[in-house]
């Protein structure tokens, strides 16, 4: 293993060390040491960021006000003020407490949302070798817009959504669709959107839509969906066998 | 001439009714006794279910738990006796601490939810990692020779605030209003069973017992909600 003379980490063994042995001779020992420690630093940073996420999340949960003592004092006060409410059965009260136990977090105060942003990984290399691209970008020619307008589902006798219509965009909400069978056809407001296997994640502008999932010999699935910006809605459409087709068999 | 005017008026009414047509409320169950809390007064069946926060989260895209207690109410009119349904006939009484509230309209609830969403704080954590190749040469600052090899880097970006909050735009408010109104208890005269959600702008508290008061033909019906 060629680690250069005087390498500080020269006593290390194992495959990790042999990977670094491809460095050319003459590379300074300190440099080698730094490159050996970098993976550990990367891992440590990622661990630290995860720990930061968890800590912030825990703080968010703890920040919910829970005035237990205050509610107790209020309870004793209200008992004196409103004896007519004592007609409720004790068992009912106990059940009421149980059902409302996890609902303390409601209120008008703002919440803190902790979310994982974009994770950037990778490296890139680009080299363009060839003649000039002779055409302008899309939309350069007036005909592009005319052509694009014909793609809108409203203007077609068999309306459908063009490719890329459900791509992610700021101000949109997501519908995560799971359908059985996977090749079921998906319609939004009566216009064909595609097959379910290609529409696992659809991004739509805020609004109310009529979602239909249908397949041959299966009962159709209909649901009115409401899309809000930045929100994700999970829908599972399991299409049962059509009863009329069963009777035929 | 008269029949033309009446025909035009009828046509206008049809168009208007079609334009405003849409799903309203929920499907009533087979009977009032199918609801957790139920009673029959003057031949009118009343069934109520208080939605738990989990159930409300599943039923609504709008985050109604942040402002309201939601109850599903079903009314079964007496035979041959139409019932005038109005959400103003309901009052929710909360004990510990003492409070009472009349139902809020979908418009008001949507506006409150939009305001709450706009006041949220966002913390975004973005880990970064990179890998590169460095060729051999001399450091321009120190003049020392640097080695060639693979370099690695990692970091984390933390962003606080900024950007639009989820469900906080005017468009979102309109969508929430649509959802809440479409699922709300239908109002007006009815001779068939009706059901839907009613939104009470009361914060849920631990150890709180709830009672629903319904004014039916001038008489008050009190129902304890589990």
Residue B92's pLDDT band (cuts 50, 70, 90) = very high
Highest mean pLDDT among A40-49, A118-127, B161-170: B161-170
Instruction: Using pLDDT thresholds of 50, 70 and 90, give the confidence band for residue B9.
Output: low
Contact B178, A225 (CB under 8 A): no
Question: CA dihedral defined by B67, B72, B76, B81, rounded to 10 degrees?
Answer: 10
| B186 pLDDT higher than 90 | yes
pLDDT of residue B90: 96
Q: Which of residues 134-173 of A touch B (CB under 8 A)?
A: 170-171
Highest-scoring range by mean pLDDT, A33-47, A96-110, B175-189: B175-189
Which of B145, B151, B224 lies closest to A88 in CB terms? B224
Task: Give whole-number Cα distances, B46 to A9, B26, B31, B186, B200, in Å.
Answer: 80, 15, 9, 14, 18
What is Dmax (Cα atoms) for chain A?
92
Q: Show residues of chain B in contact with A35, CB under 8 Å.
A: 149-152
Which residue did the predictor score with more confidence, A243 or A72? A243
State the pLDDT confidence band at B3, using cuts at 50, 70 and 90: low
Does the CB of A102 have a partner CB in chain B at under 8 Å?
yes
Interchain CB distance below 8 Å, A114 and B123:
yes
Asked whether the predicted pLDDT for residue B36 surpasses 60, the reply is yes
Q: Residue B14 pLDDT > 60, yes or no?
A: no
pLDDT, tens digit, for every residue of B42-81? Answer: 999 999 999 999 999 999 999 999 889 999 999 999 988 9
Q: For an interface test with A, which of B206, B220, B221 has the most A Cβ atoms less than 10 Å from its Cβ?
A: B206
pLDDT for residue A126? 46
Mean pLDDT, range A186-214, rounded to an integer: 92
Residue A7 has pLDDT above 80, yes or no: no
Q: What is the pLDDT of residues A33-65, one digit of tens each?
A: 444 455 666 566 666 666 665 665 555 444 433
Instruction: Inform me whether the pLDDT recorded for B188 exceeds 70.
Output: yes
- Report pTM: 0.59
Residue A192's closest CA among A216, A177, A214? A214
Q: Which of residues 89-108 of B touch A (CB under 8 A)?
A: 93, 95-98
**What are the residue ranges of helices labelled H in A63-141?**
68-81, 90-99
Encoded tokens for B164: 């639009």
State the average pLDDT for chain B.
84
Contacts of A114 in chain B (CB under 8 A): 123, 125
Cross-chain Cβ contact A35/B93 below 8 Å: no
pLDDT at B184: 95
> What average pLDDT score do residues B108-117 get?
91
CB atoms B152 and A38 under 8 Å: yes
Q: Count H helices and E strands in chain B, helices first.
A: 4, 14
Determine whether the interchain pair B127/A41 forms a contact, defined as Cβ–Cβ distance below 8 Å: no
pLDDT for residue A185 is more than 90: yes
Most confident of A177-191, B1-15, B145-159: A177-191
B218 touches chain A (CB under 8 A): no
Residues 6+ positions from A59 with CB-CB distance below 8 Å: none
Give the residues across from B85 on adjacent strands: B188
Contact between B194 and B85 under an 8 Å Cβ cutoff? The reply is yes
Min Cα separation A118/chain B (Å): 5
Q: Out of A50-59, A112-121, B82-91, give the one with best mean pLDDT.
A: B82-91
The answer to whether the beta carbons of residues B164 and A230 sit under 8 Å apart is yes
Query: Is the bond preceding residue A181 a cis peptide, omega within 30 degrees?
Result: yes
A8: tokens are 């500080």
* pLDDT given at position A69: 39
> Are A49 and B123 in contact (CB < 8 Å)?
no
Contact B98 A42 (CB under 8 A): no
Going by pLDDT thresholds of 50, 70 and 90, the confidence category of residue B167 is: confident
pLDDT value of residue A59: 52
């Amino acid at each position: 293993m060629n680690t250069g003379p005087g390498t500080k980490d020269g006593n290390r063994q194992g495959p990790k060390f042999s990977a670094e042995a491809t460095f050319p001779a003459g590379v300074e020992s300190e440099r080698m040491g730094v490159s050996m420690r970098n993976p550990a630093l990367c891992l440590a940073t990622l661990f630290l960021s995860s720990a930061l996420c968890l800590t912030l999340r825990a703080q968010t949960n703890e920040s919910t006000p829970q005035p237990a003592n205050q509610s107790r004092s209020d309870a004793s006060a209200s008992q004196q003020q409103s004896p007519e409410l004592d007609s409720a059965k004790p068992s009912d009260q106990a059940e009421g407490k149980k059902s409302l136990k996890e609902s303390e977090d409601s209120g008008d105060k703002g919440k803190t949302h902790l979310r994982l942003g974009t994770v950037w990984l990778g490296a890139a290399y680009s080299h363009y070798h060839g003649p000039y691209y002779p055409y302008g970008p899309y939309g350069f020619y007036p005909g592009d817009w005319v052509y694009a307008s014909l793609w809108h589902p409203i203007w077609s006798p068999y309306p459908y959504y063009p490719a890329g219509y459900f791509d992610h965009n700021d101000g949109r909400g997501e519908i995560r669709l799971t359908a059985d069978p996977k090749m079921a056809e998906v319609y939004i407001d009566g216009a064909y959107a595609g097959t379910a296997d290609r529409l696992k994640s659809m991004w739509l502008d805020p609004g109310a839509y009529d979602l239909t999932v249908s397949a041959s010999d299966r009962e159709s699935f209909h649901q009115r969906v409401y899309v809000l910006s930045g929100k994700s809605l999970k829908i599972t459409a399991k299409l049962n066998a059509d009863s009329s087709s069963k009777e035929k068999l | 001439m008269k029949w033309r005017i009446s025909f035009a008026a009828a046509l206008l009414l049809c168009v208007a009714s079609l334009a405003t047509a849409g799903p309203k409320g929920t499907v009533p169950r087979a009977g009032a006794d199918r609801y957790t809390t139920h009673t029959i007064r003057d031949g009118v069946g009343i069934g109520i279910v208080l939605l738990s926060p989990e159930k409300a989260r599943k039923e609504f895209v709008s985050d109604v738990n942040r402002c309201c207690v939601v109850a599903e109410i079903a009314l079964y009119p007496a035979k041959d006796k139409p019932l005038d349904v109005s959400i103003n006939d309901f009052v929710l009484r909360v004990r510990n601490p003492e409070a009472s509230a009349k139902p809020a309209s979908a418009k008001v609830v949507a506006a409150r939810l939009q305001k709450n969403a706009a006041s949220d704080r966002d913390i975004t954590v973005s880990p970064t990692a990179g890998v590169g190749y460095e060729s051999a040469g001399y450091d321009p600052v120190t003049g020392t020779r640097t080695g060639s090899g693979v370099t690695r880097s990692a970091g984390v970006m933390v962003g606080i605030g900024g950007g639009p909050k989820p469900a906080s735009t005017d468009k979102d408010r309109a969508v929430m209003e649509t959802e809440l109104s479409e699922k709300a208890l239908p109002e007006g005269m009815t001779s068939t069973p009706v059901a839907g959600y009613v939104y009470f702008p009361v914060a849920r508290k631990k150890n709180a017992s709830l009672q629903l008061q319904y004014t039916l033909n001038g008489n008050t019906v009190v129902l304890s909600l589990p």
